[in-house]
Structure 1
């Protein structure tokens, strides 16, 4: 007699029987359909963010008579962005997206009424220069649109079907951003805690939606001429075989990333309740603080203040390609000031924590590569993986991201990245801050 029979609980669904059912075939068809609008929305959302950033930080200063962006310019848009995000959080339904200081986690199916706040708050965050990425709002939008599609097509649809299509929408959205359905699958899988014999049945609709979404992106590229999104860094210096010295560096980078990530998260979590008590007043102040970090970097180095602002998604390839133009001091300074701006942004703005962690990790690894025994590409890859796991707590995703960024060297780099990620993950588990979900029930 099975445990379920003894306890009286219903037996879990059989994956083989589920795959053969008509309902599952219908679910696959709906997931494929959902992939089209979700990827289209994601495509134009990202293009709108890029266009807004270019206008606010490049075109507008020139229209006002300056030959380029003045050094003090970030003091204008960032407080405005902070105020707009505060208004969204205070007056629109929901919380305008998840609180990024509390980690990258699944929030269930997003209500359609919450999408307004999520889109507007994240757009204001990204367009006005705060140090967060687009991945969390895109996942929320994909989930919300997927759930809405089910409810529109079939009133009274079971919660399990709504959740499955919502997850497929999230898959499609994040895969279009990352340029890889596989990395997107691991990200969603680890975030949602998926596992067991039902894993394949749950993942397949999402993978289908992501594949359809990727095809839609290619078609939109041909139609609009805007170009597609990819995280890979072509033309990076080659890396062949790991050495014993590099293994020791992996241990050191894992430790350093654990300490840096813990400080960033603790500062963000400490600031969050203080800002939340007076959002309308303090979020513009937070924007000024982020702007101050950017201006301090721009005035202290020969590099642009934009290296500190934004998510770092588009700046990361340039950072790696121009490694020879960065001194160790400039790299350490951008790590310090971007980390400070990142912590402030995590505490109150709305967006995702992934891309700033990748940039900070890459810059930190590149700074260490000025010391003996550490090639630049290996340092950047290990820093990316270690900082990703320090901030996200998703080890498989953290290992895959450097492979996505450095595809030609992925095979040689992966052993070093794994060591750095594991060391960082274990240390953060011991010294990292607890979020609400980490605390045991009382």
Structure 2
């Protein structure tokens, strides 16, 4: 029986010789460093503009930096500015962002400047989106365009793989996230060679991107929540409940996505859809407070620094408003990704659970809230687990996260994703 079973297993793919992998190292290093520097450049430029828009300008005008009036005016103005880029700049800042994910298409070089400008304006102006999707698209386009000219014999797909891995590594400050994403993307494919042969060059690019970001910007995802010790039965129950609730809440946004996107699409012009979207985002910010603005990474650190500062109702309001802001921003045409605002919504939900039931440890609540929300919004299992784990920096919570991911995944698998086809129907 054992011999028959062995015979039924597929033969292992032959390993790629080292001489075929060695020439990939230098291009991977160059793409990794370049992708990280572009991400850092856009981020720094957006932060400088954000300081002008949200600190210097309101102070000069004598209005509150985060008053309801200023938030509504600034988000609407951001919609106008991004709308002008989408309308007038060559390439129209790329395809409809509702139709794109982390696996970016190769865009023509003429499209990339407008996409960079729209992304920087969005990051500075306050909409609830992150930089990941458009920056990956820009890095993929640049790597493909330059790579085909400098190394014409290399396969075109290599440059896209290197740029995607490098940008993910740069975003998270570690190549582990890129490796997990690659392994998930390669699952089920007929690979030529062993798995590590296929991820060798992208992993080099991811490591180069992560190291460049770490050496230049010193990022940290640890929220410095109270230390979590040995898990108990109550912690397991809390993990299962919080992750499942977060998943269900995230799926509400996913279900609403094609309808909200369709409503903005019927407005017919970016100079209408984006300003109206900005106005709605400003009203949401006035309801939820300034912490529900921007991509959410710095704001997660603020709410996690003092979990007892806000009530359960305030955390619940922030959760719902942030998720609604993510839904509107992704639907009306702002260029951006959904990972970081989903992290904020999940963390706020986890802290809401802690405020309602103090026995729910803050680290368990935050990690499982982020896990469930990311599974619903991104449908990336490994990245969701990784992101949830690094936020709390507690090895003992990983087993709880793995258990909590099981019911959460059952709630999302086979159901619509937060990404649309060209005809507006959701991808499953």
Matched with 2:199 is 203
Matched with 2:269 is 278
* CA distance in structure 2 between the aligned counterparts of 1:391 and 1:84, rounded to whole angstroms: 27
* CA distance in structure 2 between the aligned counterparts of 1:335 and 1:167, rounded to whole angstroms: 34
Compute the displacement of 1:83 (Å): 2.3
| TM-score, normalising length: structure 2 | 0.87
Answer whether contact 2:169 2:178 (CA < 8 A) is retained: yes
Q: Which 5+ residue runs of structure 2 have no aligned equivalent?
A: 1-10
Matched with 1:361 is 346
Matched with 2:361 is 375
Matched with 1:154 is 151
* CA distance in structure 2 between the aligned counterparts of 1:185 and 1:344, rounded to whole angstroms: 31
Question: Do residues 131 (structure 1) and 148 (structure 2) align?
Answer: no
Q: Identify which range, 128-137 or 45-54, moves more after superposition.
A: 45-54
Answer whether contact 1:138 1:174 (CA < 8 A) is retained: no
**Aligned mate of 2:209, from 203, 206, 213:** 213
* CA distance in structure 2 between the aligned counterparts of 1:439 and 1:34, rounded to whole angstroms: 32
SS in 1 for 2:413: helix
* CA distance in structure 1 between the aligned counterparts of 2:409 and 2:78, rounded to whole angstroms: 33
Question: Do residues 295 (structure 1) and 286 (structure 2) align?
Answer: yes
* CA distance in structure 1 between the aligned counterparts of 2:220 and 2:418, rounded to whole angstroms: 33
Matched with 1:63 is 60
Answer whether contact 2:129 2:337 (CA < 8 A) is retained: yes
Matched with 2:5 is none
Cα gap change, 1:401/1:75 in structure 2, threshold over 3 Å: closer, same or farther?
same
* CA distance in structure 1 between the aligned counterparts of 2:140 and 2:14, rounded to whole angstroms: 23
Question: Do residues 104 (structure 1) and 101 (structure 2) align?
Answer: yes
User: Which digits, 9 at most, give the CA deviation of each residue in 1:276-324, with x for residues without a partner?
Assistant: 3232112101101111011122xxxxxxx22111111111112111111
Question: Do residues 228 (structure 1) and 218 (structure 2) align?
Answer: yes
SS in 2 for 1:205: helix
Matched with 2:44 is 47
* CA distance in structure 1 between the aligned counterparts of 2:213 and 2:417, rounded to whole angstroms: 39
Answer whether contact 1:389 1:395 (CA < 8 A) is retained: yes
Cα gap change, 1:439/1:86 in structure 2, threshold over 3 Å: closer, same or farther?
closer
Matched with 1:332 is 316
Matched ranges for 1:69-148 at <5 A: 69-94=66-91, 96-97=93-94, 99-102=96-99, 104-148=101-145
**Aligned mate of 2:381, from 382, 385, 395:** 395
* CA distance in structure 2 between the aligned counterparts of 1:78 and 1:418, rounded to whole angstroms: 38
Cα gap change, 1:267/1:182 in structure 2, threshold over 3 Å: closer, same or farther?
same
SS in 1 for 2:228: coil
Compute the displacement of 1:111 (Å): 2.9
**Aligned mate of 1:268, from 224, 233, 257:** 257
Answer whether contact 2:242 2:368 (CA < 8 A) is retained: yes
User: Which digits, 9 at most, give the CA deviation of each residue in 1:325-372, with x for residues without a partner?
Assistant: 011111011111111111101102110000111110011011111215
User: Which digits, 9 at most, give the CA deviation of each residue in 1:118-145, with x for residues without a partner?
Assistant: 2122122211110000111221122122
Aligned length: 409
* CA distance in structure 2 between the aligned counterparts of 1:211 and 1:105, rounded to whole angstroms: 18
Compute the displacement of 1:268 (Å): 2.6
Matched with 2:159 is 165
* CA distance in structure 2 between the aligned counterparts of 1:424 and 1:261, rounded to whole angstroms: 11
**Aligned mate of 2:233, from 241, 244, 247:** 244
* CA distance in structure 2 between the aligned counterparts of 1:434 and 1:37, rounded to whole angstroms: 29
Q: Identify which range, 71-80 or 59-68, moves more after superposition.
A: 59-68
Question: Do residues 185 (structure 1) and 169 (structure 2) align?
Answer: no
Matched with 2:15 is 16
SS in 1 for 2:68: coil
Q: Identify which range, 270-279 or 388-397, moves more after superposition.
A: 270-279
User: Which digits, 9 at most, give the CA deviation of each residue in 1:210-269, with x for residues without a partner?
Assistant: 2223343355x3xxxxx4322222x32000122222222222223212221121122232
Cα gap change, 1:103/1:404 in structure 2, threshold over 3 Å: closer, same or farther?
farther
* CA distance in structure 2 between the aligned counterparts of 1:436 and 1:315, rounded to whole angstroms: 29
SS in 1 for 2:225: coil
Matched with 2:6 is none
| TM-score, normalising length: structure 1 | 0.85
Answer whether contact 1:251 1:419 (CA < 8 A) is retained: yes
Compute the displacement of 1:79 (Å): 1.6
Answer whether contact 2:258 2:420 (CA < 8 A) is retained: no
Cα gap change, 1:114/1:67 in structure 2, threshold over 3 Å: closer, same or farther?
closer
Cα gap change, 1:60/1:190 in structure 2, threshold over 3 Å: closer, same or farther?
farther
Q: Which 5+ residue runs of structure 1 have no aligned equivalent?
A: 1-11, 222-226, 298-304
Q: Identify which range, 244-253 or 83-92, moves more after superposition.
A: 83-92
RMSD: 2.7
Compute the displacement of 1:198 (Å): 4.5
